[in-house]
Every structure is written in structure tokens, then in C-alpha cells.
Structure 1
């Protein structure tokens, strides 16, 4: 019987990635409690927001709880959009094609017209709370790359259509799901979490 881990998200795309990389666990999410839960993420760092979500869920369920906060950071824009990656374009704008186009327009407006000037990275911060032992841990993953000049690809979500990881000439959305899981910021953080669980727990 698989050990249950609680994940503080409603995002189907994130759930898919966690299930793929932690397939030896049963992952339950906010959807298993109330699909309408929307946790306010008002921290100023990725760690803040990850812990806000983990702590919120720890008041509802017991056991091992994980939450992530992820974002795209563009070096020549002082890390923009960073922790605001999901909502900077407007609270009511959820179409990632629109958001990506707005981002590309900002890069053009700032004369960031070469690959070097468009350097960026994805960050993922995972917070884990074990309510049984009252222990919390943080795991982080980062992947460097740059922002392409147009949206490309049909897979993935969020900024996957514009982010090209170093060493490749295709976006995450073009490279596809399984290759992304070998490279991405979230996969790096999840693998660190998996090693921690393997070394410290008996399942």
C-alpha cells in the first residue's frame, strides 16, 4: 500500500509532474478536500509562499505535506516576474498565451534582443511539513536558460513555451513532458525531496 503525501495545489499540471516523479506515493491534493480552496500567496520570497501553502494545508490534514512555489526570473529585469510569475499580468488573466506575449513585449521594450540579454532561470522551492514529528524542510531546484523570441511548442504550461534551457535550442514545450522532467527546476527539487524521504523514512 502506497504512503500518502499531501500536496498543497489545485494545479492539474503540477499534480501530473509530482505523480510522475513520486509514483511510489499516493498523492492527495487540495482537490481531495475542496476544489474551491485558493490559498493567498502574499509572501515576498519563494520560500515564504511555499511555507504559507504548506502551513495552510497542515491545519486541515495530518502527515507529510508538501507545497511548492515556482517562478520565472529574468536576470536583466531584476528577477522579474519572480514570485509574481502567476499574477503579474493581472488577477483575471489566466491565459498563458496572453501572459507569455505580454512578457515578450516587455523584453522587446527593454531592448533585450539577444540571447545573452534574455538569460533567465526557473526556480522551484518545495516546503515539506511532517505534522507527526513537527519537522519542516526546504528543497530548491533551479534551471538556467533564456527566453526565446516567440512562443513555441504545444506541451507544458505557464512559461514553457518561451523558456529554453541551456544546452538546448527548443523550449520546454517543444522538448516534451518526459525530457522536461529530467531537466526542470521542479524535478530537481522533487528529487531532493525524494532522497530526503528515502533516507529518513521507512515506507
Structure 2
């Protein structure tokens, strides 16, 4: 059975990939399955650079195929911030509530019409003897001035998706997955999988 490592410690992300790769007879491993502790410093200035950096570094160390992702929030009124710093926007502790508080503070005097934003996700696939490929997805919305909902993580409670008239945190996981940035990137990856796995 083929094995693919997902360069994450996030159990939620792992489940997404298990659902995608399972039908192809692929066993999904994560960084939690490894004995060694691998931590790749994200020194890139774009989501794509960080995803490639993680995928290629881990693949080179373990000599197996690796899928890595980098994702975050881009707010137009803040010139694309927090961007690649989304997880540590309020500091290295990576606390969701602190990040949201800082975001709302930065947008305090910005009218609703100008609070447009998007979640972006880039997946990178790397492995021995194959050319690294990337797949990206995005999800457009608005940043509210207060939290709504208790599902999800990160900026979900303040990210309002217009078509559903709800925040990401007010959606069930499968509903969010169908319209999310990661879902869109996974859909692109899925079209590439048969060719990649046969190779």
C-alpha cells in the first residue's frame, strides 16, 4: 500500500486527506505518526513558498511523498494582512482569540463594505523523483465586528460567507468543507491524484 505523509499535526486536516486519499488505496500518515520531531521553519513570504518549503524538506528527510499546506486570511483593508502570519498575528503563542482581537482592533474604523477578505490555501506535493506541484483555493467573505458561532477554528467566528449568510463558525464541518479554501484546493489536488499515484 502506498503511503503519503501529510506535513501536519492537525487531526482535522488529517481526516480531510484520509477521505480524499482512501479511495485510491493510500495510507495517510501525519507528523504525529513519526518518532522524530520534525519542525520546518516557515521562512517564505507567500503561502506557496511555505507549502513548498514544508513539503520538500520533509520529503527529503524521509524519502517518501509528502503533501503540505499553508493557509491563512487576507484582509483587503490591511493590504493582505495577516497573510502568512495568520496563526501568529498577535504573537508566537498562536492563540485564536488573541489573533481575532487584534484583527478586530485593526479594523475598528473600517466600514463593512471595505471589510472584504478571503481565506487562502496552497497545497504542495513533493516526493522522490517527482516535480513539486502546487494547488490553491480561496474563499471570499467579509470580516464582521463581532464573533458568531462556535464551530471551526482560527478566524472562522468573524469570517462571514455572504452566500450562506453565516460565519464559518456557524456552519457544520461538512458544509464548511464544501465551500472552504482548503476544500477548493483539495478538489484541484484530486484531479491530479490518479496520474501522480500511478507514477
TM-score normalised per structure 1: 0.89
1: CA distance between counterparts of 2:52 and 2:30? 16
Q: Are 1:156 and 1:172, in contact at CA under 8 Å, matched by a contact in 2?
A: yes
Q: CA deviation at 1:200?
A: 4.2
Name 1:96's counterpart in structure 2. 96
Q: CA deviation at 1:21?
A: 3.7
- Output aligned runs, 1:23-38, within 5 Å: 23-24=22-23, 25-34=26-35, 36-38=37-39
1:193 equivalenced with 2:193 (yes/no): no
Question: Partner of 2:188: helix, strand, or coil?
Answer: helix
Question: Partner of 1:86: helix, strand, or coil?
Answer: helix
Q: Are 1:21 and 1:187, in contact at CA under 8 Å, matched by a contact in 2?
A: no
CA change 1:35–1:98 in 2 (3 A) is farther
Name 1:85's counterpart in structure 2. 86
1:184 equivalenced with 2:184 (yes/no): no
1:121 equivalenced with 2:118 (yes/no): yes
- Output aligned runs, 1:11-160, within 5 Å: 11-24=10-23, 25-34=26-35, 36-92=37-93, 94-108=94-108, 111-114=109-112, 116-131=113-128, 133-160=129-156
Q: Report the structure, 1 or 2, having the larger helix content.
A: 2
Q: CA deviation at 1:20?
A: 3.6
CA change 1:17–1:55 in 2 (3 A) is same
Question: Partner of 2:198: helix, strand, or coil?
Answer: coil
Q: Are 1:140 and 1:188, in contact at CA under 8 Å, matched by a contact in 2?
A: yes
In the alignment of these two chains, the number of paired residues is 197
Q: Relative contact order, CA 8 A, sep 6+: which one is greater?
A: 1
